[in-house]
Amino acid sequence: MRRKLAAGNWKMNGTLAALGEVDSLALAAQGAAEVLVCPPFPLIAPAAGRVPGVAIGGQTCHPETSGAFTGEVSAGMLADVGASYVILGHSERREMFDEHDDHIRARCRAAWQAGLKVILCIGETEAQRDAQNTLDILGGQMAGSIPDGATGHNLVVAYEPIWAIGTGRTATPDQIGEVHDFIRARLERRFGAGVGRSTRLLYGGSVKPGNAAEIFAVSNVDGALVGGASLKSADFILIIDALNAASD
Ligand code: 13P
């Protein structure tokens, strides 16, 4: 019922030459799992439609449709050049670019208006986990940043513990399972059982070929949001293959 999703977040990496990495995904993208690459803005147009089965997304968008917002890109612009997804609320945007829940909620509305699917990221710091505040923090982020109107089609939630991003440390299967069960329960409570059960939940944070299968075996994990390991197609393909295997 929920199609698994392997999403690569290239962050601020990649030039035109890196599009060869997208080309290399062609075979892996023919499996059961959906494959998505989110490159930097300048690469979205040349990447979109390039490889059958590889969807392309942005990494943020501005809430307004157009206007005097120097340096920003609107959701409609992303859709116009072929993006079908946008990542919103990534912890790097929240921390480094001062994006708060209300900004993210506005961006999410704009993305939906433009017909984009949203990968909404939530995650706790290590200090918040140590203080046993993880579920409170995540529940607050969900309530604050997801607008009304979510469906299993327009929303994907990505759990990315901040302490696991780019650190080589991964949350344990028990930690991931607890959080993903919680996220699904919260979605069901707010949006109803149908939406709650059909919304895909991704784990992100140092997902690698060596730990992917173990993570994909956790219940309520419908895929991964992959940073560093999505930059090299050889690694990303192994992760996609693990997800294809978990889809059977
Ligand atoms: P890494 O896979 O490099 O830890 O990054 C995860 C991430 O932030 C994906 O959005």
What is the chain's pLDDT, residue by residue, as a tens digit (248 residues)? 899 999 999 999 999 999 999 999 999 999 999 999 999 999 999 999 999 999 999 999 999 999 999 999 999 999 999 999 999 999 999 999 999 999 999 999 999 999 999 999 999 999 999 999 999 999 999 999 999 999 999 999 999 999 999 999 999 999 999 999 999 999 999 999 999 999 999 999 999 999 999 999 999 999 999 999 999 999 999 999 999 999 96
Catalytic residue list contains 180: no
Among all chains, which residue has been given the structure tokens 């419908």?
A: 222
Q: At residue 18, what is the residue type?
A: A
How close is the Cα of 227 to the center of ligand 1, in Å? 3
According to the model, what pLDDT value does residue 204 have?
98
Is 160 tagged catalytic? Answer: yes
Residue-level pLDDT at 98: 93
Q: How many angstroms separate the alpha carbon of residue 148 from the centre of ligand 1? A: 27
Q: How far is CA 210 from the centre of its chain?
A: 20
| d(CA 231, ligand 1 centre) in Å | 11
Nearest to 220 by CA among 245, 246, 242, 192: 246
The catalytically annotated residue of 21, 34, 62, 90 is 90
pLDDT of residue 153: 97
pLDDT of residue 160: 98
Residues 6+ apart with CB under 8 A from 99: 60, 89, 93, 107
pLDDT at 6: 98
Burial class (CB in 10 A: 0-12, 13-18, 19+), 55: buried
Residue 1: predicted pLDDT: 80
CATH number of 5-247, picked from 3.20.20.70, 1.10.357.10, 3.40.50.970, 3.10.20.30? 3.20.20.70
C-alpha 93 to ligand 1 mean position (Å): 13
pLDDT of 132 reads: 96
The tokens describing 183, both together, are 């996220």
Atom from ligand 1 closest to the CA of residue 229: 2
Phi, psi of 87 (to 5 degrees): -85, 130
Ligand 1, CB cutoff 6 Å, lining residues:
9, 90, 160, 165-166, 204-207, 225-229
pLDDT of residue 238: 98
